[in-house]
Amino acid sequence: MNHSQHPSADGLWQHLRLAPGALAGEAHSEGLADAAIVVRQGQIAWIGAGAALPAVYAGLPRFDAGGALVTPGLVDCHTHLVYGGQRANEFALRLAGASYEEISRAGGGIVSTVRATREASEDQLFESASARLQPLLAEGVCAIEIKSGYGLALEHERKQLRVARRLGQAHGLTVRTSFLGAHALPPEYAGRSGDYIDLVCRDMLPALAAEGLIDAVDVFCERIGFSLAETEQVFQAAQALGLPVKLHAEQLSDMGGAALAARYGALSCDHIEHLSAQGIAAMKQAGSVAVLLPGAYYALRDTHLPPIEALREAGVPMAVATDHNPGTSPCLSLLLMMNMACTLFRLTVPEALAGVTRHAARALGLQATHGALEAGRPANFVLWDLKEAAELAYWFGQRPMRCVVRQGRIAEGRP
């Protein structure tokens, strides 16, 4: 169903149990046992303790949540959702002993998805990405980041980004696009990475920015991706266009990417398994969010943990995302990522919940509108059939969502 066909959520939502940290100004609050939310014209008009409800709202149509747990709409702040094909064959190769880097150097990996993405039409990409989006929507995702980076040529990067925009319109979902033209070297530029980066900076980036298709600029800074100098060249081009940057940083090795990104005021540095102490200090100073991607860590059977304790001590906000992509994280559950962030990375439950709400919103520059509940924001919230917030991270393979209000409409389930 198209988003505009979903029933309006306008009215008085009663008997809600607000999860800890759900209110915008109160990151560390306990939550509220019997809360109410007033939705008017798709926005939160009032939120607070049910007993404190202003009399003017008492006559509105009512939705009785019957004590359901409520969180802000979830935010998946790092995905590569739009692509052609899939790579189960590489999963088999890795099981037989090949490494991700070996497969990539042998012409598989990202470049094989580039072939399939170039062959697909815009409508085909829209259909396949819509299907993959369903489980995320059904889990309560209300905002998502979607990267390009499987086209690696102007027309194909454009196709991916246009599909990302269309997904937002069709599903009433807030979509932030990141241009990841510097994801891998396309085969036609083999041995000429300087020329390719010039193309990214001089042609692709300005053209796609002018079409309004780019919200942020990302680079895969890695031995099998692009060097620090090439990354900086892309960041300079982004800065010249007034676009914020983020970075795939220190996933497989410490390239010093996080410190560079921080110098450019990066919204976030993502993966960061090999992040150094200098990188952490630079991120703290710049206010960059650390985006943890336990799905990729798990799928690659990585054993090098991101420096969680040091990030926590430094007070760097940590987000958690699916990194949905066909190579290293074919995952379509943000709740599973919460579970893995706790189990594998030792996040606390409140950290994991903040990681898929307020800190994830911040990683996208959406902290004023998403990731926490407050009067004046668009109505994005989720009712859960759960007794306590810890259950969000505790169960895995479970679908505890009862109802999702997305952009002011009852988009999934019923109260």
Report the interface residues with Fe ion, using CB under 5 A. Answer: 323
Radius of gyration of the chain (CA): 21
- Which residue in 13, 5, 18, 7 sits closest to 61, CA to CA? 13
Q: How far is the CB of 321 from ligand DI6 (least distance, A)?
A: 11
250 or 351: CB nearest ligand DI6: 250
Residue 349 one-letter amino acid: V
Q: How far is the CB of 103 from ligand DI6 (least distance, A)?
A: 9
172 or 327: CB nearest ligand DI6: 327
79: contact with ligand DI6 by CB under 6 A: no
**315: CB partners within 8 A, 6+ apart:** 284
328: contact with ligand DI6 by CB under 6 A: yes
Q: How far is the CB of 347 from ligand DI6 (least distance, A)?
A: 19
- Which residue in 267, 266, 210 sits closest to 241, CA to CA? 210
CA–CA distance, 20 with 180 (Å, rounded to integer): 35
324: contact with ligand DI6 by CB under 6 A: no
Q: Per this entry, what is the length of the chain?
A: 415
Which residue minimizes CB distance to Fe ion? 323
318 or 372: CB nearest Fe ion: 318
Q: How far is the CB of 43 from ligand DI6 (least distance, A)?
A: 36
275 or 386: CB nearest ligand DI6: 275
84 or 140: CB nearest ligand DI6: 84
CA–CA distance, 148 with 159 (Å, rounded to integer): 9
Q: Which does 339 bind (CB under 5 to 8 A by kind): ligand DI6, Fe ion, none?
A: none
322: contact with ligand DI6 by CB under 6 A: no
When binding is defined by CB under 6 A, the residue of 323, 379, 406, 407 that contacts ligand DI6 is 323
Question: And the tokens for 377?
Answer: 């924001």
When binding is defined by CB under 6 A, the residue of 113, 117, 148, 233 that contacts ligand DI6 is 113
CA angle at 238 for the pair 233 and 239, rounded to the nearest 5°: 95
94 or 362: CB nearest ligand DI6: 94
8 or 253: CB nearest Fe ion: 253
CA–CA distance, 255 with 246 (Å, rounded to integer): 15
CA–CA distance, 229 with 211 (Å, rounded to integer): 27
Question: And the tokens for 320?
Answer: 């958690």
* Whether 395 contacts 335, CB under 8 Å: yes
CA–CA distance, 108 with 362 (Å, rounded to integer): 34
When binding is defined by CB under 6 A, the residue of 63, 126, 196, 220 that contacts ligand DI6 is 220
Question: And the tokens for 358?
Answer: 């307020």
Q: How far is the CB of 386 from Fe ion (least distance, A)?
A: 29
* Whether 218 contacts 245, CB under 8 Å: yes
> Segment near ligand DI6 (CB under 6 A), from 106-114, 122-130, 162-170, 208-216?
106-114
Q: Which does 327 bind (CB under 5 to 8 A by kind): Fe ion, ligand DI6, none?
A: ligand DI6
Helix, strand and coil content of the chain, in percent to the nearest 5, comes to 40, 25, 35
When binding is defined by CB under 6 A, the residue of 327, 355, 371, 415 that contacts ligand DI6 is 327
CA–CA distance, 74 with 23 (Å, rounded to integer): 14
* Whether 227 contacts 202, CB under 8 Å: no
109: contact with ligand DI6 by CB under 6 A: yes
Q: Which does 109 bind (CB under 5 to 8 A by kind): Fe ion, ligand DI6, none?
A: ligand DI6
Q: Please report, in angstroms and rounded to a whole number, the separation of the first and last CA atoms in the chain.
A: 18
53 or 336: CB nearest ligand DI6: 336
147 or 406: CB nearest ligand DI6: 147
- Which residue in 397, 393, 369 sits closest to 381, CA to CA? 369
Q: Report the DSSP beta bridge partners of residue 38.
A: 12, 46
- Which residue in 302, 265, 306 sits closest to 286, CA to CA? 265
Question: What binding mask, one character per residue, do residues 240-279 give for ligand DI6 by CB under 6 A, x or -?
Answer: --------x--x----------------------------
10 or 323: CB nearest ligand DI6: 323
Q: Which does 344 bind (CB under 5 to 8 A by kind): ligand DI6, Fe ion, none?
A: none
Binding residues (CB under 6 A) for ligand DI6: these are: 80, 109-110, 113, 183, 220, 248, 251, 296, 323, 325-328
